[in-house]
Amino acid sequence: MREITVHLGLGSNQGDRQTILRGALERLGAVPGVRVVRVSTLRESELVGQGPPQGAFLNGVAELCTSLSAAALLDVCKALEVAAGRRVPAPRNHPRPLDLDILTYGTQRIDSRQLVVPHPRWRERAFVTEPLQELGVDLDLLATLTAPVVIDDPAALAARTAAWLEGGCVIGLVPTMGALHAGHQSLVQRARQECDRVLLTVFVNPLQFGPNEDFAAYPRDLARDVELAQQAGADAVFAPSVGQMYDASFASHVGVGAEAEGMEGAVRPGHFGGVATVVARLLAMSRPHVAYFGEKDAQQLAVIRRMVRDLGFPLRLVGCPIVREADGLAMSSRNVYLGPEDRVASTVLHRALLSARHAFARGERDRDALLARVRTVLASEPRAAVDYVELRREGDLALLPAGEVAGGRVLVAARFTAGARPVRLIDNMSLLPGPEEL
Amino acid sequence: MREITVHLGLGSNQGDRQTILRGALERLGAVPGVRVVRVSTLRESELVGQGPPQGAFLNGVAELCTSLSAAALLDVCKALEVAAGRRVPAPRNHPRPLDLDILTYGTQRIDSRQLVVPHPRWRERAFVTEPLQELGVDLDLLATLTAPVVIDDPAALAARTAAWLEGGCVIGLVPTMGALHAGHQSLVQRARQECDRVLLTVFVNPLQFGPNEDFAAYPRDLARDVELAQQAGADAVFAPSVGQMYDASFASHVGVGAEAEGMEGAVRPGHFGGVATVVARLLAMSRPHVAYFGEKDAQQLAVIRRMVRDLGFPLRLVGCPIVREADGLAMSSRNVYLGPEDRVASTVLHRALLSARHAFARGERDRDALLARVRTVLASEPRAAVDYVELRREGDLALLPAGEVAGGRVLVAARFTAGARPVRLIDNMSLLPGPEEL
């Protein structure tokens, strides 16, 4: 039976600290499959972080030898903490009679729901690093076991998510083309609340750009994206090259139905085939439980919803509300293209959408009357050349017949062509305010 | 901390059995998070299965209460077995001082690589069922926790494979259209050797049948398929209805490149789009580590290889050798359509393929000369109407130019139209015999 060397962090700041720590190690050493090899000097330290007034900790590290899995050892440690009188769940930063943390488990990297090894904050704490050094642990080697944040190789991505799945983690995926802004960060934050692990992908997908579109010019700044993603709570960023996503003989495509027709599908032929293909690939590779998309690209969301349902990917799709600048412009990585005058003019999209919502709130139910109001507002801005204004059913964005409507979503696209380069913006709004807008 | 009631099977047939069992329970009860609540009468039983001559077992069941996970408890039990002198790995059906089996873990169903609970063979053994009854366990309830073999709901399939992934199982997938024969069984047997869990799917996929093809007539017998699948070693069979796979608004499709052109792609327009779509869906739903396909459908295998690579499914594809009847006919679910005379005539396909291989072995390297030999043999059978004879590159089945070839695969298709209904057969063979054919 293979035995693994383990380093266990010890802490106590309640009761007879020394006796509690010694007693716990004695019980631990009596567990079948566990031997306590040696224990570092115990030392005093103050609480890290904010908490109620409390005594100092007595800390140290024990070296164990065990045939138990890391998860099994964790369960035993939890039971020892409970037996020592610790409350479950333990309130954060309150005094505790016994605190046991698995710091290392051989040279294995563990990234499960219950346990991350090496311990994520081991480097920040002298009461951990000093005893580890006293026990002769190679801290440089330990540092190499800490999981990297940025992944570019598809096989490494699949391995990482496989470990998460095996660890029982709920995985949240936030696919982006980078050039992150507060809208993307809101997706990461939502994922952070709902999932155990959050993966953000950064890939400017050539398949979804037309020949005369801005693929080459699309803004790219991976270092900044990684920083913003981590700030918002992402655990990992997958940022492959085009060659890593599509090899030279790449030939497949994923097509969907009516959701990809009209609006953006009409203006940008092939666009949604490229979107469906890359998203199918990202889902196949990363196998998330939940995937987060912004409602700003409402038709893209409808296309992906259809693809996910048809191909049977076992996940939940979450559409997140549009995040807007203070003056109402929907956040977009392409907003940086706007010259100062177009930037001012661009707010007409939001005003036009609001005019439909206000009219609906006042009782207007006729589809074409609502659309006419939007067009009138848009026409008031000479810098905006309208591509389309449509009122579609919520969800799948199916066409709504002329006549009375009970609700729906207004979608607009316009070009601002007066600046140095033409900029195309899209926006949309439900006729009925969502809960987050009330 | 939540505690779970566990039933632990106890066994010993080496050394002082009673003392060993009592000692193990005493050590177990001292483990943090474990209480031994009560123990059934211990009783004698003989070895189940074949093994060297050995003494009778002393068996019983202990009821525990524990805050440990089932996996953690398993690790502790293994350590106790080792401490009692058991060899690791323990030779099958040899005498053992201590045998501990987790029979139940609350009302949870566990299906991990290390542990299946309830214990898969609990019902077959009186030395398990009698002590369980003595301890008041509801055996009917226990029976309902045993995992069903046949699944028809896509959500239930995804949940099952999610549990397997979380349990660290390597999953093998064998997609079929049912009407299983020894060829399909060879795929399951290969998967059984390589994987922890084997999933066979049975689905006659309407997307891959043309309007004049045999979708309605295709042979279907799920009960027989389930029996053959289990015989070959499948753990579960996924057999959805058409409505469960494709809802009324289904609209997506997966397309691939050159692999789908020519040969079957030319004779059966749309066929490979249907194949790629259903396989993508099965892979998305079941997330296998390995998927097994027969080489008889060589072009299908090339299409799927392309799709899997392009969409980034993180799995290994295995093509398995064609299984043939004694007279050389490649096994196929459609062979049942053949009338007696066509059945005899159908062996011409195999003879024609062999003629190319023999010619190649004797030094013939000219592409068209090799193909001419195949055509000559086929022409000797007036009941066979040839659809195509081709020599393609191994793997992706790319076209080979006229002139000298260093190897390749010969593919043939022919119709036998003299019987009550026309029957179309395909077959193929590498010019170089594979290791399994030598």
Contacts with B257 from chain A: Cβ below 8 Å = 249, 251-252
Q: B238 with B313: CB under 8 angstroms? A: no
Q: Are residues B206 and B106 in the same domain?
A: no
Asked which of A268, A289, A320 is the last residue of a domain, the reply is A320
Report the distance separating Cα B116 and Cα B120, nearest Å: 7
Q: Taking CB atoms and an 8 Å limit, are B71 and A67 in contact across chains?
A: no
Q: B386 with B353: CB under 8 angstroms? A: no
What's B432's domain CATH number?
3.30.1300.10
Q: Name residue B258's amino acid.
A: A
Contacts with A88 from chain B: Cβ below 8 Å = 1
In a domain, B325, yes or no: no
Q: Taking CB atoms and an 8 Å limit, are B280 and A280 in contact across chains?
A: yes
Express as a percent the part of chain B with pLDDT over 90: 88
**DSSP SS3 for B308:** helix
Contacts with B31 from chain A: Cβ below 8 Å = 31-32, 76, 79
B76 to chain A, minimum CA–CA distance in Å?
6
Q: Are residues A283 and A398 in the same domain?
A: no
In a domain, A196, yes or no: yes
Size of interface A-B (CB pairs under 8 A): 190
**What pLDDT does residue A419 have?**
64
Q: Taking CB atoms and an 8 Å limit, are A79 and B71 in contact across chains?
A: no
Report the distance separating Cα B55 and Cα B45, nearest Å: 9
> Which of A27, A88, A280 is closest, CB to CB, to B1?
A88
**What pLDDT does residue A420 have?**
67
In a domain, B95, yes or no: yes
Q: Chain A residue with minimal CA distance to B257?
A: A251
Task: Using the predicted structure, report yes or no on whether residue B120 has a pLDDT greater than 90.
Answer: no
Q: HSE (CB half, 13 Å, CA atoms) of B318?
A: 20
Q: Taking CB atoms and an 8 Å limit, are A68 and B88 in contact across chains?
A: no
B137 to chain A, minimum CA–CA distance in Å?
26
Q: Are residues B83 and B105 in the same domain?
A: yes
Report the distance separating Cα B39 and Cα B135, nearest Å: 8
Range of the domain at B383: 333-437
Contacts with B28 from chain A: Cβ below 8 Å = 32
Q: Taking CB atoms and an 8 Å limit, are B67 and A78 in contact across chains?
A: yes
Task: Using the predicted structure, report yes or no on whether residue B17 has a pLDDT greater than 80.
Answer: yes
Residue A255 pairs in a beta bridge with: B253
**What pLDDT does residue B422 have?**
85
What's A195's domain CATH number?
3.40.50.620
B159 to chain A, minimum CA–CA distance in Å?
9
Q: Are residues A155 and A140 in the same domain?
A: no
Q: Are residues A171 and A257 in the same domain?
A: yes
Catalytic residue set of B: 184
Q: Are residues B276 and B403 in the same domain?
A: no
Contacts with B276 from chain A: Cβ below 8 Å = 252
Asked which of A90, A115, A144 is the last residue of a domain, the reply is A144
Per-residue pLDDT reduced to its tens digit, B268-315: 999 999 999 999 999 999 999 999 999 999 999 999 999 999 999 999
Alpha-helical (H) ranges within A36-113 are 70-83
Q: B296 with B283: CB under 8 angstroms? A: no
CB neighbours of residue A143 within 10 Å: 11
Q: Are residues B432 and B385 in the same domain?
A: yes
**What pLDDT does residue A114 have?**
93
Contacts with A281 from chain B: Cβ below 8 Å = 310-312
Q: Specify the pairing of strand A4-12 against strand A57-66.
A: antiparallel
pLDDT class of B47 with cuts at 50, 70, 90: confident
Residue A292 pairs in a beta bridge with: A318
Contacts with B251 from chain A: Cβ below 8 Å = 256-259, 306, 310
**DSSP SS3 for A87:** coil
Report the distance separating Cα B243 and Cα B322, nearest Å: 32
Q: Taking CB atoms and an 8 Å limit, are B252 and A255 in contact across chains?
A: yes
Q: Taking CB atoms and an 8 Å limit, are B162 and A314 in contact across chains?
A: yes
Nearest to A389 by CA among A401, A403, A376, A402: A376
**What pLDDT does residue A422 have?**
85
Q: Are residues A337 and A280 in the same domain?
A: no
Q: Chain A residue with minimal CA distance to B307?
A: A252
Residues 6+ apart with CB under 8 A from B362: none
Mean pLDDT lowest for which of A84-98, B111-125, B380-394?
A: A84-98
Q: Are residues B177 and B136 in the same domain?
A: no
Average pLDDT (B227-247) is: 96
**What pLDDT does residue B438 have?**
58
Residue A151 has which token pair?
A: 């992944």
In a domain, B326, yes or no: no
B275 to chain A, minimum CA–CA distance in Å?
12
pLDDT class of B419 with cuts at 50, 70, 90: low
**DSSP SS3 for A340:** helix
Q: Taking CB atoms and an 8 Å limit, are A82 and B75 in contact across chains?
A: no
Question: Which is higher by pLDDT, B409 or B437?
Answer: B409
> Which of B76, B285, B306 is closest, CB to CB, to A312?
B285
Residue B30 has which token pair?
A: 């001292």
Residues 6+ apart with CB under 8 A from A433: A357
What's A137's domain CATH number?
3.30.70.560
Report the distance separating Cα B277 and Cα B274, nearest Å: 5
Q: Are residues A349 and A407 in the same domain?
A: yes
Q: Taking CB atoms and an 8 Å limit, are B255 and A255 in contact across chains?
A: yes
pLDDT class of B420 with cuts at 50, 70, 90: low
- Packed helices A367-379 and A348-361: angle between N→C axes, nearest 10 degrees: 150
Q: Specify the pairing of strand B116-117 against strand B110-111.
A: antiparallel
pLDDT lower than 70: segments of chain A: 419-420, 436, 438
Asked which of A144, A165, A182 is the last residue of a domain, the reply is A144
**Residue linked to tokens 């750009």:** A209
In a domain, B327, yes or no: no
Q: Are residues B360 and B404 in the same domain?
A: yes
A155 to chain B, minimum CA–CA distance in Å?
7
Q: Taking CB atoms and an 8 Å limit, are B252 and A75 in contact across chains?
A: no
Q: Chain A residue with minimal CA distance to B258?
A: A251
How many separate domains does chain A show?
Answer: 3
Catalytic residue set of A: 184
Q: Are residues B131 and B166 in the same domain?
A: no
